[in-house]
Structure 1
């Protein structure tokens, strides 16, 4: 469906509230281009974790679509995000995906740049050029509880409101004092929105994820979950884990702020964390004193949800490859002092969300095949798909305002 002349504004205006998106939102090249410009180049994207660049000169590349960003630790400890585009003739400056360096030297004509992006040397450049204006272009960057976010926007949304509300929620877990235990990418033959929609609801969990459903309560009706959450809150208080979270379901995207939300819910009895048998998986995070048998869903931006247990956390990234292909990346975090093989077993740590994501890949690809059909017609959401509805509303709002 290559409808470059498609009237996206009309498509948004005629979308039926409370129903799944119509077919062009998934199949149109024009809509996908709008998605890239409106979301992936404007929203904040989770690029990595501070544990990846502990020393001055440590760097890694963050790449999305046509863009490449150098994430580097400066000499003064500051985290910089620099466009990986030489200011001479546009070559990629940094080629290796990660490493340590004193400065970045373009492999084409050897222009050299300092860790903060400023121009260090440009061979044979005429003296009348202002070298202070020829540094690598800076990309907006925020370090939030050890997580590094970047935005390609010229005027990115402020983290101020998000920090004020989420700082108390995240502080006990000390994510800045975690490290990456494992990361995995799962290619999915589907439009990126189907990945996000699937993640945001557990209406499908009973049938599709028996491993998840036996430990997590999110597939049950609210009246069955409330007593379990009430019991958890007493445990949470003793464990030093806050549970007085705000509820953003149904609200519009905060003006001038990235989209964000959070919620903590109980696991079933017998499950201390998200493991196969309910037993602990790793040392407790941060200042957490004990297991409250709970899990926190936290969103920083629509595309970067995280799940936090008492002993480990997971970060999700939904990455577009093209209109018909996406990647779901999962990053597992454990306490910075935890040692693999001694403090945690990697296979046990990643088991639940690996098996769940493999199942999701199959579900989503079959969803895409159905959406491709001439017989596809959007159906109504049910109450358990509230977060998916919230995503759709935020998505349509963004397209309208872009």
Structure 2
């Protein structure tokens, strides 16, 4: 068994040998050492979507964010502030909070009954001697950002700043009123594949024509750029009239400001006859935020590389890519609707989730077959085509993350 130093050196050699414009070498998907680096350098450093403010509207409301070996309490304090706290008792390390969500006046460890206030400070430690400084025994804080109602946490000691991201994305997201939405549905799709194959697949539509006929008949992103351009040009007037931003923001990879997460925004047209991402093109739910009409478009949004979002005029959805282990991942989707929308009256859940449910089920099969091929002794990385540009950029950003000290 190679020691850790040798394994890290091997990873450096693999990165140095990576051929530009080609898929990743086999060990990036199969190596235990590389997966360990993925967890520490990507998932424990990147900002992760933990939830939405509608889930914790009142003081004492909390949800748990859990990934791999970590658990974080996201709670609304008595002062109305959203905080994130490590779900690790400062006594002997037990999980303090057990239920995935709820409301409480304070958190009490089920092991020895140490109690903590909503801000994480120690409230009571039964029989603890007075010679201990109780102010230093509170639950440890975890970095948290509330961005247009979306709650992000980072397990990093020095998380990337949202400053540049807010300046560039605030104007284009404000009209959608995401802080005034609620979660209509969330669903997890287990995938027997390395997490990178999920992200690579999401970032390209080269496969969409063959694999996703339901998506391809409504969305034009699977076509060559010159064929999509006229549709987007026609959309601009509709978008302006409806109050939908069409700015182009691209701060991913080498374009990302120093010290910032990756982020991007792009609006593109659906095909004629499609108002939103529905099976028949018909509207699905009440319009979001300050949008006044359908522009028959959709917005791709990135806040970090692991939380892509798609916003239509009447609903939004967020993807999460979650590792379980080296060979297993979860692809989670969260559907958002206007905060006042009621299921059965304003939207039908089956219709709302149809497109991305059927698409993600198909993606699960595609990705698992991809993993099976990558596992083969005959696997050799092949060249990317132009429509896989964003997948190439993801790989470049990923490799840069692995080489960052």
Q: TM-score w.r.t. structure 2 length?
A: 0.98
Question: Is structure 2 residue 37 aligned with structure 1 residue 34?
Answer: yes
Report the counterpart of residue 322 of structure 1 in structure 2. Answer: 325
* Inter-partner Cα distance in structure 2 for 1:205 and 1:196: 15
Which of 399, 402, 405 is the equivalent residue of 1:399? 402
Q: Report SS of the residue matched to 2:184.
A: strand
Question: Is structure 2 residue 355 aligned with structure 1 residue 352?
Answer: yes
* Inter-partner Cα distance in structure 1 for 2:40 and 2:126: 36
Give the CA deviation at 1:254: 2.7
Residues 265-290 of structure 1 show CA distances to partners (whole Å, capped at 9, x for unaligned) of 00000000000000000000000010
Which of 262, 272, 276 is the equivalent residue of 1:273? 276
1:396–1:119 CA distance, 2 compared to 1 (3 A)? same
1:262-341 map, 5 Å: 262-341=265-344
CA contact (8 A) 1:273 1:281 kept: yes
Q: Which runs of 5+ in 2 are unaligned?
A: none
Which of 117, 137, 148 is the equivalent residue of 1:114? 117
CA contact (8 A) 2:267 2:300 kept: yes
Report the counterpart of residue 133 of structure 1 in structure 2. Answer: 136
Report the counterpart of residue 83 of structure 2 in structure 1. Answer: 80
CA contact (8 A) 1:3 1:28 kept: no
Report the counterpart of residue 51 of structure 2 in structure 1. Answer: 48
Report the counterpart of residue 389 of structure 2 in structure 1. Answer: 386
Give the CA deviation at 1:261: 1.2
* Inter-partner Cα distance in structure 1 for 2:23 and 2:399: 12
Give the CA deviation at 1:249: 6.4
Q: TM-score w.r.t. structure 1 length?
A: 0.98
1:250–1:350 CA distance, 2 compared to 1 (3 A)? same
Q: Report SS of the residue matched to 2:249.
A: coil
CA contact (8 A) 1:60 1:97 kept: yes
Report the counterpart of residue 222 of structure 1 in structure 2. Answer: 225
Residues 19-62 of structure 1 show CA distances to partners (whole Å, capped at 9, x for unaligned) of 00000000000000000000000010001000100110000110
* Inter-partner Cα distance in structure 2 for 1:256 and 1:44: 13
1:174-185 map, 5 Å: 174-185=177-188
Residues 43-96 of structure 1 show CA distances to partners (whole Å, capped at 9, x for unaligned) of 100010001001100001100000000000001110010000000000000011
CA contact (8 A) 1:42 1:151 kept: yes
Superposition CA RMSD, Å: 1.2
Question: Is structure 2 residue 235 aligned with structure 1 residue 232?
Answer: yes
Report the counterpart of residue 166 of structure 2 in structure 1. Answer: 163
CA contact (8 A) 1:249 1:387 kept: no
1:362–1:198 CA distance, 2 compared to 1 (3 A)? same
Q: Report SS of the residue matched to 2:250.
A: coil
The count of residues paired between Structure 1 and Structure 2 equals 402
* Inter-partner Cα distance in structure 2 for 1:159 and 1:248: 12
Which of 194, 200, 205 is the equivalent residue of 1:202? 205
Question: Is structure 2 residue 33 aligned with structure 1 residue 18?
Answer: no
Report the counterpart of residue 369 of structure 2 in structure 1. Answer: 366
CA contact (8 A) 1:188 1:365 kept: yes
Q: Which runs of 5+ in 1 are unaligned?
A: none
Report the counterpart of residue 260 of structure 2 in structure 1. Answer: 257
Aligned structure 1 segments of 4 or more residues deviating by more than 2 angstroms: 1-6, 246-254
